[in-house]
Amino acid sequence: MSTLISKLRARLQDKSAALDTLAEKAAADNATAEDIKAYDDAIAELERINEQIEREEKATAIRAKLSKPADAPAVDPTAPKTEPVLKEFNLDQQLSLAAAAIVVGKTRGEHPLKVLADDGYGKLADQLKTKAVNTLVSSEGGLLVPTSTPQGGIMELLRKQSTFIDAGPVRVPLIGGRYNQPRGLAGATASYVAEGALKPVSTPTFDSISMVAKKLAGIVPLTNEARMWTVGDIEAYVRTDLRSALALTLDLNAWLGTGAGASPLGILNKVGVQTVTASTYITGTITAPTLAELDLLANAFILKMTAANLYSTGNWKWVMPYRTALRLSSMRVGDSDGQLAFPEMNPLGNGSSWKGFPVVITAQIPTTGGGTTDETTLALVDFGHVLYGEEEGITMKMSDQATLDVDGEGTLIHLWQQNMFAILAESMHDFGLRTVLAVVKSTIRF
């Protein structure tokens, strides 16, 4: 900075200090024409000094350029940093620059956005926002994200497909959270008797189908900043993901719920369902049954159902994991070049059937059970006797006033105080069987 510029700025500061006093006199009720003229003259002088400073700054810049060799780039040292030649940044470039700014920021002790601005990426810094859900942990949103993205939103999580409701159980309402229906357990008997002989006496027995609403729920808290700053619509994403999470949990428990605590008991775990011992029919390699052994096993399932007076209807469906479906769909007659033994089996589940009955293929049936860690379940179910008791479907609620106990041990989130809101999804339902004989299951290893 030149000596003249320093003197001019000192003079400008001195004149500015006296301006307030002149302004008060000029604005007073008894102000004279001389007071007003003195105030106007002071403003005019300040403007002249400011113009002198600007001219001298330009002259200083020109002198700096002339002092450099002819082949040196002419750069004004007083000019602000400019953007690089690359004006538009694609998503990969944005993320790379943001990551670099985070690393450099840690070494300088500066915010990443300031690093970008100081290093000539001011426009990019303006396009980025810092979004956090409480802790600035990257997996929870504490990273630099664009305010818009070519992809148009947030990619949904990969969720396993729900299958129980699609299988077509009988839906019944839970009144007051309960469903109780008496049913006959053992019926009367009759037999032929000789003349004068005693006629048989029998007593029918009864029990009841009982379902009690089990509450399935989930809450996701978010900061209001997350709603404003994140890529896409984070609130819509969370609502959709919560619905999927509830449907996924419902699906798992509908098949294999343990009934422990507040959880429902799944239909494959109901007391009294029929079972088939696979090793009775698969006498060779248990993990690679032959076609003949599979026929014997499947027939055993079907005969169990018919022996219970459950006759073949459109409601009979096989339930199996993807591994079993893939094995069946890949089996061939004869050798590996033979025709497919079960061409009606689609390992993806669309329109599959086996032994003439539709197949429900679900990822909810585990394939890592037992001591051999490869056991799974195969079932034949008459869905005309499967009940889905429903108090309410999935409902969504939002609050910015509640206090949340995150871990049940007193770790509290005060939504209003912490500038947050929470989305709640819940459903109430239970699963039942009109008769437990409508389910036949077996533990298999293929």
User: Measured in Å, how far apart are the chain's first and last C-alpha atoms?
Assistant: 84
> With b meaning 16 or more CB within 10 Å and e meaning fewer, what string describes 139-174?
eebebbbbeeeeeeebeeeeeeebbbeebbbeebeb
CB 415 within 8 A of CB 399: yes
Tell whether the torsion through CA atoms of 414, 417, 423 and 427 is positive or negative: positive
pLDDT category at 107 given cuts 50, 70, 90 is: low
Where are the domains positioned within the chain?
A: 3-66, 91-146, 155-446
Cβ–Cβ < 8 Å for 122, 83: yes
- The Cα-based distances of 271 to 86, 274, 436, 439 in angstroms read 69, 9, 7, 11
The answer to whether the Cα torsion of 59, 60, 61, 64 is positive or negative is positive
User: Is the separation of the CB atoms in 174 and 393 below 8 Å?
Assistant: no
**Is residue 381 a contact partner of residue 441, using CB atoms and an 8 Å limit?**
no
pLDDT > 80? residue 90: no
- Low-confidence winner among 85-89, 176-180, 375-379 (lowest mean pLDDT): 85-89
Residues, the chain, total?
Answer: 446
Over residues 365-371, the mean pLDDT reads 94
pLDDT for 278-310, tens place per residue?
A: 999 999 999 999 999 999 999 999 999 999 999
**pLDDT confidence tier of residue 320, bands split at 50, 70 and 90:** very high
Residue 266 DSSP symbol: P
Rg (Cα) of the chain, in Å, rounded?
Answer: 39
Distance in angstroms (rounded) separating the CA atoms of residues 178 and 214? 10
DSSP characters over 161-229: PP-TGGG-PEEEE-BTTEEEEEEEEE--------TTPPPP----EEEEEEEE-EEEEEEEEEEHHHHHH
The 10s digit of each residue's pLDDT in 124-140 is 777 664 333 333 334 44
Of 439 and 410, the one with more pLDDT: 439
- Mean pLDDT (the chain) is 80
Task: Among 100-109, 204-213, 315-324, name the most confident range.
Answer: 315-324
| % pLDDT > 70, the chain | 78
- 38, two tokens: 């003195």
Hunting for tokens 């036949």 — which residue is that?
440
Say if residue 234's pLDDT is above 80: no
pLDDT one-digit tens code per residue, 203-214:
887 767 889 999
The residues facing 353 across adjacent strands are 358
Helices (H) and strands (E) in the chain, counts: 9, 16
Q: Please tell me which of 68-82, 112-126, 214-228, 313-327 the model is most confident about, judged by mean pLDDT.
A: 313-327
CA separation for the pair 133, 269 (Å, rounded): 40
Q: Judge whether residue 443 has pLDDT over 90.
A: yes
Q: Which CATH class is domain 155-446?
A: alpha beta
Better-predicted residue by pLDDT, 406 or 268: 268
Task: Give the count of beta carbons closer than 10 Å to the beta carbon of residue 427.
Answer: 21
Q: What is the percent of the chain where pLDDT is above 90? A: 37
Instruction: Output phi, psi for 333, to 5 deg.
Output: -80, 130
What is the pLDDT averaged over residues 7-36? 78
